[in-house]
Chain A
Amino acid sequence: MIINYCIAKLNKFLASQVKRPSVRYWNEPQKEDKSRDGENTGEAAVQQDRRAKKRKQKDETSKSDPFPGSAPIPKDRLQKFKRKDKITKPPRHYRKLKQVITRSEEASDLALKQAARFDLLLPEDAGFLEGDEDEDTCTISQEDIAEAVDITSGAKYFNLKLTQFGPYRVDYSKTGRLLLLGGRRGHLACFDWQTKQLMCEINVMESISDVKWLHTDSMFAVAQKQWLYVYDSNGIELHCIRKFNDVLRMQFLPYHFLLATASATSFLQYLDVSTGKEVAAICTKTGRLDVMCQNPHNAIIHLGHSNGTVTLWSPNQKEALVKMLCHQGGVRSVAVDKMGNYMVTSGMDKKLKVFDIRALKPLTSYFLPAGASCLSLSQRGLLSAATGDVVQVYRDVWSTPVTKPYMAHRVRGSVWGLQFCPFEDVLGVGHGEGFTSMLVPGAGEPNFDGLDANPYRSAKQRQEWEVKALLEKIQPELISLDPTDLGRVDRATFEQRHQEKVQSLGFDPHAKEKFVPKFKKKGRSSAGAVERRKKQVAHVDQRVIKMFATSCRINK
């Protein structure tokens, strides 16, 4: 449609380029006028005729635009950027309200349309692997793909043979440029995986359970045997955080600057890396926490437990926001998609389940003969599941029932860490024998936001970004299940609000003061008081006497 429109415009432009004397109204033939000059009768009819002619001529002169107005926007694209439904307009007599609402509606309409229109500027499109007839895409080997694609893309398939230090955990930085490897037996390495430029490589001489990049490319956190450590990209130990012990899994919330850790002591802790303070420490009371993932949409942490439940946590609440029973056995891995719509879990019962995390309802359930130990979702919704030493990648697990994997690849040892590289069609697999970088066509988001995560940014840009990101840091209080909560009017009753105030202040500001009897010393001995008392008594005496007298009279 848009293309049609553009072509039409172009044609019009070209047509206008061809030189043609512009038609003026005085160019029209004037014969009629001369003939009509003398006449007076029957003028009206002639005149009408003339006017019609004139109109026609006008139409001829201004060639009508076959696609008038601005280019139409496809409905699905509008839907993509839609935020909320419009509300009905208020009655007419609320002039001010009506004005405010119409203005805001206009603004949001403009925003929506503009956003949808400018979606056109995202030029890159994602592709997928397509097999020949009767050929399953899952049988195409990595070598074949690497041979078929261009050299730079082919170079993205590689194996690192690191047999000594055991299974590796993997983490890509937010821009997808840097890769962090953490061997179970203490090996730690970070490097630019595209240029294969090593930044640091050390052995921490302790077991490593998880590694995670922090907000920039220059810092990463390592969960070691006892404490949590922070290193910089040169391998220099920056911090040893003793408050965080026995950490098994970590997640970094990039917009909140929070490092969430799950420990073997069933503690879920949040560390604010911008201020270095512990934001929250929640005892989940659910045993060892070795399954963890975050919902990128609302920064909620998902934890998987051995009793088949998945719990959702925010730093603001001491109890789980939601507890879902997902598997009959323990939960082995959890993953949430980028938009925060779907959650994929795998459990000891060898099932792979997909949930609609907004409605908290199960969508589909698959049976994987070997059961998936690690799950990871790519930016475009590809699911990778590691079953033993085989890495399988699935497409569209939620929308269509899948019977076969999209791709499969066998690595050397059992898989321990699995992550899709952002903005690249690459899946990083950390396993017992080292690291494998797999090519998965259609995995990464082809269009990156240059102001958010720019893979090609310079050092200066990175610095700029860091300052801006810190300025735009979202406070941990704003983490909630529904991120649009902030834009909602707080409808709590007065009582509820009061209770919260009491809780936060520690006392009730509106409470009535309790009655405490005053210890009052009465000045009885002053002369005035004595006199007054006497007067009172005298009065009473008089009355008593009177009463007595009257009663006597009555008695008589």
Chain B
Amino acid sequence: MAKVSKIRKSKKRSKVAGSSSKKPPVVYDDEQEEDVCGAEEDVSSEEDDGEDERKRQKLLEAIGALGGKRKHALAERSEAAVHMSEFSMTADDEADLSDLIGTIEKTPAATAQTKKHLKNLQRSKNTVECPLSKQENERIQRDVAFQKAALEVSRWQSIITQNQRAEQLVFPLNQEPSGPKPIEQVVMGWEARTPLEKEIFSLLAANKQPILDAVLTPAEEASVKAMDLEQVKIRRAERQKARALQSYYEAKARRERKIKSKKYHKVQNKAKRKEFVKQFEELVKTDPAAALEELDKMERARMQERMSLKHQNSGKWAKSKAIMAKYDEGARKAMQQQLEVNKDLTQKLVTSLSKEEEEEEEGEGNTDMLPDFVNDAEFKQDSSNPWMRGRLSEDPTEMELKDTMDVTAEGASAVTKEAEEEEGSEAEGTEEDALLREFDSRRKQRQDQESDTSAVIVNDGDDGVEEDQVTEDKVAEISDEEEEGLSEFTRMYRGIGKSLEKDAGSKDGSAELEEGLMRIRSVDDVDLLPQETPTEPQQAPTPQHQKSAEQQPSRSRKRKKGIELREVLTKETKVIKVPLAPTVTDSEEKLDQRVLIEEAFAGDDVISDFAREKRKREDEGKPKVIDLTLPGWGEWGGLGLKPSKRKRRRFRIRTEVPPPRKDQHLPSVIISEKRNSAITPHQVSSLPFPFENPAQFESSIRTPLGRTWNTERTVKKMTKPRVVTQLGAIIEPMADEQLLKGKKKVSARRRSRNTKTRTQPAK
């Protein structure tokens, strides 16, 4: 049994070792030999008993006696096999454990402990693995060492990234931050020295008062600790309940708010209102002061409503409804309702006496508003309105009205009258509007007249020429009577040239001039033509309004088309009144023959020239088609034969359509489409790294850094160096302390959090 196990062991070893291949077979051979020897011996013992054996035994003994000690050893081992020689024992031939144990049991000298130990060993069947090879061993060691080192290094990772991302690094790194320290830090290091301080602190300590500014005094903390468990439980339950209730309520409110049914809300609101009224009445009985406050609130709401345009059918919704109102009963109703809301809200709550007052106030308000009405600064717009102009020029009777004061008086009376009317018929909102509009239009007319009268005066200076030098004294006079001065000055200018008169006239003159040149009229202009015909203003004020309303969309349409070139140049000009008239004409410039001619034919073909040039430029930019068809290739050629359509299509090269011109919508401007390549070497030609698109980069460099554009502090902040080293300071590698610091911080934070959680139930 033992032998077999030996062989197995050796086999195993051969497997494990792998490299040491030759030894096991040798061992095997030895054993075989032994076996053979054994067998022979057995045979011989069977054949001839007694004598031979004894002889041999004797001989062996004799030989053994020669060696002394060895003899004894042999004698000892003679049990297993007869021929047990020292030569048969190899280094690999180990002693089996069982053998050893056997002997140990016999030897009384071995301790019980070792015995036990060996027994245990025997019981465990698995064999001990052989040690690894040196290389493998080293590799494993290296691996382990690397992992250790990596762990060590990775602990620094956070600090390193932090430093990498930092805006500025100041070396040496672990410096005390300069500047004021937080009070806690300073106090920590502080000790009581003077006797008074000592006394105070001893008192504090005795009374268990916090020496630092803590949240809880020690006594309080003790009380918190002393609070019994049940109490805490009760409090917690209370709080939980409150929280749950709140959440239910919130959920309910959210649900209700989402309900879209108007009827539901209406009912709800009504109920609320009723309740409110009830409450209010109760309040009046119980607590008049609170009731007054409520009233005040209502008054404020009314004020707000009066100020705002909320329920006055002027919003987007109301406008959309107004369109539908003609056909839809519901829409009408809705609008009506909104108005009612407004009425309700704006209704005054107090007695009749105050009502009268209010009426008075309103009256006053109206009178106050009057001059504002009259002084409306919209005359510019109106003068640009061709329709208005046409009508006014035809209206001779109203030309006589010059005095603005008269106008204001009239306007005032008209307004007051209308106000009265309004009060008379409150329900008719639309009528009111119409009246107001009418009034507006009238007002505008009057203002136009004023402007026109002045313009006319400028035009119609037909008296004889007076070439007087206007002295300084005269100037004052002129300012007093402006119109006279103007006429005088126009008289002076009359002699300069007829061209002046033409231009000095209103737009019509230049427009005519334009017409002669261009002979083009857009469709819109044709539309406008009939509107220029005079209409009588007093007869139908509302149609006027309609017309102006009609005109607006047409104008907007025109805008969409783009500005017409000639419209730009013949834009309405404002005549400037000059108090001093120049007596000297610029002779130098007039002398120039060419200039003189230029002026004589002012505006002759300037516009058409420009338009032509612009068109030419546009054409240049347009894509051209290159035709590369060769007649006769692959087909019949000759006179009267055209290359086929397919071929033409195939060989026609179209260049890409360029982007739209920058001056597309600017009729009087030609912008060069050439690229400014002079600046390109100074520009950034490719986007720098972290940026995704040019806009980001451009905005990041939009602020200049220089001192010319920034304050000193900004410059310093923006040009801060990334790394600052202190002169003469030794920059050492980061020490482990740095790491520990960070860890401490973290742990401290954790601890504080723990304490907080501990204290929370007490709260």
Residue positions of A touching B, CB distance < 8 A: 25-26, 30, 33, 36-37, 40, 43-44, 47, 50, 83-87, 90, 94, 96-97, 99-101, 103-105, 107-108, 110-112, 114-115, 118, 135-136, 138-139, 141, 167, 306-309, 314, 316-317, 319-330, 332, 348-352, 360-362, 364-370, 373, 387-390, 392, 401-405, 408-410, 413-416, 432, 451-452, 472, 475, 477-478, 480-481, 485-492, 496-497, 500, 503
Contact = CB atoms under 8 A, between A and B. Distances in A.
Contacts of B670: 320, 322-324
B679 A478 contact: yes
Given A44-B762, A308-B606, A488-B694, A405 B680 contact: no
Interface string B667-683: 01111101111111111
B582 A389 contact: yes
Interface stretch (B23-31, B345-353, B566-574): B566-574
Contact of B703 (A30, A107, A306): A107
Residue among A135, A367, A402, A475 facing the most chain B CB atoms (10 A cut-off): A367
Interface stretch (B104-112, B386-394, B710-718): B710-718
B56 interface: no
B115 to A, nearest CB: 67
B690 interface: yes
A45 to B, nearest CB: 11
Contacts of B213: 25
B584 A413 contact: yes
B209 interface: yes
A402 B598 contact: no
Contacts of A306: 594-595, 598
B708 interface: yes
A486 B602 contact: no
B698 interface: yes
B699 A84 contact: yes
A245 B682 CA distance: 33
Given A47-B220, A496-B675, 5 more contacts: A26-B200, A115-B714, A317-B678, A408-B580, A475-B682
A307 B595 CA distance: 10
A414 B588 contact: yes
Interface in B494-553: 500, 503-504, 510
B331 interface: no
Contact of B679 (A114, A118, A316, A491): A316
Contact of A350 (B220, B500, B569): B500
Contacts of A405: 576, 578-579
Nearest to A307: B606
Given A328-B606, A348-B602, A490 B574 contact: no
A90 B692 contact: yes
27 contacts: A25-B213, A33-B219, A97-B690, A97-B696, A107-B714, A108-B702, A111-B703, A111-B710, A111-B711, A118-B711, A138-B579, A141-B475, A306-B598, A307-B610, A332-B589, A349-B602, A366-B574, A369-B490, A388-B586, A392-B578, A402-B576, A403-B577, A404-B579, A405-B579, A485-B676, A489-B687, A490-B685
Contacts of A389: 582-584
Nearest to B597: A306
B714 A110 contact: yes
B695 interface: yes
Contacts of A451: 708
Nearest to B217: A33
Contact of A485 (B226, B679, B709): B679
Contacts of B573: 351, 365-367
Given A43-B227, A402-B574, A487-B702, A100 B671 contact: no
Contacts of B200: 26
B165 to A, nearest CB: 7
A327 B670 CA distance: 15
B585 A366 contact: no
A317 B582 contact: no
A65 B669 CA distance: 58
Nearest to A359: B666
Given A110-B714, A320-B672, A369 B578 contact: yes
Contacts of A452: 708
Given A480-B679, A488-B698, A115 B710 contact: yes
B1 interface: no
B380 interface: yes
B231 interface: yes
B24 to A, nearest CB: 63
Interface string B207-219: 1010001000101
Contact of A366 (B504, B576, B682): B576
A524 to B, nearest CB: 42
Nearest to B232: A44
Contact of B717 (A107, A369, A392, A414): A107
B238 interface: no
B700 interface: yes
A100 to B, nearest CB: 5
B578 A325 contact: no
Interface in B126-148: none
Given A96-B690, A403-B576, A348 B679 contact: no
Interface in B570-623: 571-589, 594-595, 598-599, 602-603, 606-607, 609-610, 613
A470 to B, nearest CB: 15
B679 to A, nearest CB: 6
Contacts of B701: 104, 487
A47 B565 contact: no
B500 A414 contact: no
B671 A325 contact: no
A482 B607 CA distance: 28
Nearest to B220: A47
B683 A488 contact: yes
A43 B220 CA distance: 8
Contacts of B684: 489-490
A123 to B, nearest CB: 16
Nearest to A368: B576
A503 B674 CA distance: 14
A387 B578 contact: yes
B158 interface: no
Contacts of B672: 317, 319-322
